[in-house]
């Protein structure tokens, strides 16, 4: 009987807290420096969320370790809904396969909603003599371990997208990691590398100027920023998909009513036309989900990238 009463009291407390939530500022933690893709999405969402809930939403940058610092900070925060993290595919489903972490993102966090999903774009330098994916793959087959592709770093989305292409196309490329997307794009434009797996927004001006060629999108559907560029799946490798995504999560013990309220409020923002327009200009597609759908998606991504990391023998730097 005492256990039943305790459970009822806890449920009542959670419901009361949810009904008054939020009653103070919310912190939105980002694992990367200001000005990057994750930070930009966070600030767009924070602006509209603050207007909707009537409380300040503070974006707090805790950069480092591929986003792990921000995730760890959030896990250790009070599970009351006032601290959430906007984390990416790497920090949630790739890094656990690359390094020893002091936490398990699959169990120590509660999914709230997907925020945005977007593909990368394979862009090539004219010297590569590859204006289509078919030409790129053919050259790689003719000269194994000579065709280079750059990425923003070891274990990042671009690196993994390249590793997956190698496995599905049965080719051997040479991965050239840079310290960020900016240096990688400069390396491509300068002819240091044959190709680079880039975000659509970073690639667009260089594609438009003719300095590089966009040959394929890594997503299941074409990029809204470069709609004429076919997907890798369309180009002869059905089932290929390697996307970037950012999602909102809170500490695992956050009461369910608060998770549901955050899901509703964030979903409202991600469906607001003005917010959608701002996000699409960044080359990302808002994709609000239920907490359950996000959890299932994370599990699939965790399993997929675990296999890719193991097969490609990718090691953290």
CB 94 within 8 A of CB 169: no
Name all domains of the chain by residue range, CATH numbers in brackets. 2-118+244-312 (3.40.190.150), 121-217 (3.40.190.10)
pLDDT of residue 6: 46
pTM for the structure as a whole? 0.84
Q: Within a 10 A sphere around the Cβ of 10, how many other Cβ atoms? A: 11
Rounded Cα gap, residues 33 and 169, in angstroms: 35
Q: Closest by alpha carbon to 199, among 176, 171, 180?
A: 180
Average pLDDT score over residue span 2-22? 57
Q: Stretch 117-140: mean pLDDT, rounded?
A: 96
Q: In whole angstroms, give the CA distance from residue 259 to residue 17.
A: 12
Tokens representing 177 are 């990691």
Mean pLDDT over the full length of the chain: 91
Determine the pLDDT at residue 60.
97
Lowest mean pLDDT among 14-18, 117-121, 164-168: 14-18
DSSP 29: E
CB under 8 Å to 8, separation ≥6 — which residues?
none
pLDDT, position 153:
82
Residues 29-45, mean pLDDT to the nearest whole number = 90
Contact criterion met (CB below 8 Å) for 30 and 61: yes
Average pLDDT of span 78-97:
94
Collapsing DSSP states into helix, strand and coil, what is residue 176?
Answer: strand
Alpha-carbon gap, residue 86 to 111, rounded angstroms: 11
- Pairwise CA distance, residues 201 & 188, whole Å: 15
Q: What's the CA gap between 317 and 314, in Å, rounded?
A: 9
Query: Can you give the pLDDT at residue 202?
Result: 86
The number of beta carbons lying within 10 Å of the beta carbon of residue 101 is 15
For residue range 139-181, list pLDDT tens digits in order.
999 999 999 999 988 888 899 999 999 999 999 999 999 887 8
The whole-number pLDDT of residue 8 equals: 45
pLDDT at 191: 97
The Cα 250–Cα 111 span in angstroms is 7
> Rounded to whole angstroms, how far apart are CA atoms 298 and 292?
10
Indicate if the pLDDT at residue 113 is higher than 90: yes
259 has pLDDT over 70: yes
The CA–CA distances, whole Å, from 25 to 38, 57, 83 equal 20, 6, 9
pLDDT at res. 15: 52
**pLDDT per position as a tens digit, 260-317:** 999 999 999 999 999 999 999 888 999 999 999 999 999 999 999 999 999 989 887 6
Which of 35-49, 104-118, 142-156, 302-316 is predicted most confidently? 104-118
DSSP assignment, residue 231? B
């Amino acid at each position: 009987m005492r256990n039943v009463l305790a459970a009822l009291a806890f449920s009542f407390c959670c419901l009361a807290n949810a009904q008054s939530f939020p009653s103070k500022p919310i912190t939105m933690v980002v694992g990367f420096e200001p000005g990057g893709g994750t930070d930009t999405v966070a600030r767009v969402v924070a602006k509209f969320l603050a207007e909707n809930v009537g409380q300040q939403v503070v974006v707090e940058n805790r950069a480092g370790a591929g986003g792990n610092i921000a995730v760890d900070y959030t896990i250790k925060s009070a599970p009351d809904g006032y601290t959430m993290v906007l984390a990416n595919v790497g920090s949630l489903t790739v890094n656990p396969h690359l390094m020893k972490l002091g936490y398990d993102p699959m169990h120590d966090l509660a999914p709230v909603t997907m925020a945005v999903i977007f593909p990368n774009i394979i862009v090539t330098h004219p010297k590569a003599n590859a204006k289509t994916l078919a030409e790129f793959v053919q050259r790689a087959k003719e000269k194994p371990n000579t065709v280079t592709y750059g990425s923003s770093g070891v274990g990042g989305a671009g690196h993994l997208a390249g590793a997956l292409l190698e496995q599905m196309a049965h080719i051997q490329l040479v991965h050239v990691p840079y310290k960020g997307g900016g240096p990688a794009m400069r390396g491509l434009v300068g002819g240091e590398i044959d190709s680079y797996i880039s975000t659509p927004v970073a690639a667009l001006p260089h594609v438009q100027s003719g300095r590089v060629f966009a040959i394929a999108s890594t997503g299941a559907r074409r990029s809204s920023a470069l709609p004429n560029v076919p997907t890798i799946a369309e180009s002869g490798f059905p089932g290929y998909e390697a996307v970037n995504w950012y999602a909102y999560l809170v500490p695992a013990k956050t009461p369910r009513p608060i998770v549901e309220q955050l899901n509703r409020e964030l979903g409202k923002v991600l469906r607001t036309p003005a917010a959608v327009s701002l996000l699409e200009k960044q080359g990302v597609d808002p994709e609000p989900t239920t907490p359950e759908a996000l959890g299932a998606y994370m599990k699939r991504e965790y399993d997929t990238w675990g296999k890719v990391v193991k097969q490609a023998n990718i090691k953290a730097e």
